[in-house]
Structure 1
Amino acid sequence: MLSDSNIPRNTIQAYLETHYQVFAETPITLRIGQFNPALAALHDASHVVCSAFITACNPLSRSLDPQANAARQETLAREFEALGLAYVEGIGKHPSNHWPGEASFLVLGVTLDAAKALGNKHDQNAIVWCGADAVPQLILLR
């Protein structure tokens, strides 16, 4: 529940408004709560029924320098590879605030529990979960 979170309400609102861009062969922009036919097509083409948009950048919304964020993203990518998970690079960017876009990954076929565990491991406030309905959902972790 959004109301049960320890995350500040304005931060949650920013997450809800963010454009989650996936750098797939056909670029995709995910919006929370909006069916995405390109995502559904990517799921079909990848033979998966779910995915998650995850970053390791800026843990707990604390801004880190670009080099630290890049190192965190590299560690996360290695974890996906060790788990045998396919992923597509992307970026999460609010359309109007001044928070820098965050490098991210759309992880294909990852279960909700595994996605939440990865988000928690990398000190994230939230992930974006995309189920079989191809409607991205904000999943708060705190």
Structure 2
Amino acid sequence: MKTESLEVSYRATTYRVFLPGGEVELRIGEANVALARWLAGEGASTWAILTAHNPASKPLTVTENAELQSQLECALLEQDCMTFSGENAADDEVWPNEESCFVPDINIKNSMALARRFGQNAYVFGEGDGLPRLVWVEENIQ
């Protein structure tokens, strides 16, 4: 569920992506030239950062989060998605870091379906320009 406090929290997070050639740090609303270059080199026009940790922003145990993340990774493999490891790190360090998957060339419908399936309130989606945007799962994507 979209709330002002969740919006602030998601925007006060660094989304790290571990790509071949190095780590990229992303912030909502801030274009990343290194990511745009990497996407162009891969011929990827869209991408998403997905996690299965802490569904509905309710803290789970390390074991529960690991199991859910494993299920997400299996779902991505079943869809023949290429994935790279990521980590979502809150600025305030109160919320624990969350493991994530960077998924190039996933469209918004598929990424939305996965975020919804794993109980997420929102996720990060972008296009070839490397500009991360916050997408709320409740949004109606046609």
**The two structures share one fold, judged by TM-score above 0.5:** yes
Matches of residues 98-137 of structure 1 in structure 2 within 5 Å? 98-137=94-133
8 Å CA contact 2:84–2:101 kept in 1: the answer is yes
The aligned length equals 137
1:23 alignment partner, SS class: strand
How far residue 45 of structure 1 moved from its aligned partner, in angstroms, is: 2.7
How far residue 60 of structure 1 moved from its aligned partner, in angstroms, is: 0.2
| From 23, 26, 29, the counterpart of 1:27 | 23
**Unaligned runs of at least 5 residues, structure 2:** none
1:48 alignment partner, SS class: coil
Supply the AA of the counterpart residue of 2:17: V
8 Å CA contact 2:13–2:27 kept in 1: the answer is yes
8 Å CA contact 2:40–2:128 kept in 1: the answer is no
Residues 14-58 of structure 1 show CA distances to partners (whole Å, capped at 9, x for unaligned) of 101110001123100111111101211221232211100010000
Matches of residues 1-142 of structure 1 in structure 2 within 5 Å? 6-25=1-20, 26-142=22-138
- Structure 1 runs (4+) deviating above 6 angstroms are none
Residues 46-105 of structure 1 show CA distances to partners (whole Å, capped at 9, x for unaligned) of 221110001000000010000110111111111111101001111111112400011101
How far residue 127 of structure 1 moved from its aligned partner, in angstroms, is: 0.7
Distance 2:51 2:120 in 1: 8
How far residue 9 of structure 1 moved from its aligned partner, in angstroms, is: 1.1
**What is the percentage of aligned positions where both structures have the same residue?**
28
Distance 2:42 2:75 in 1: 19
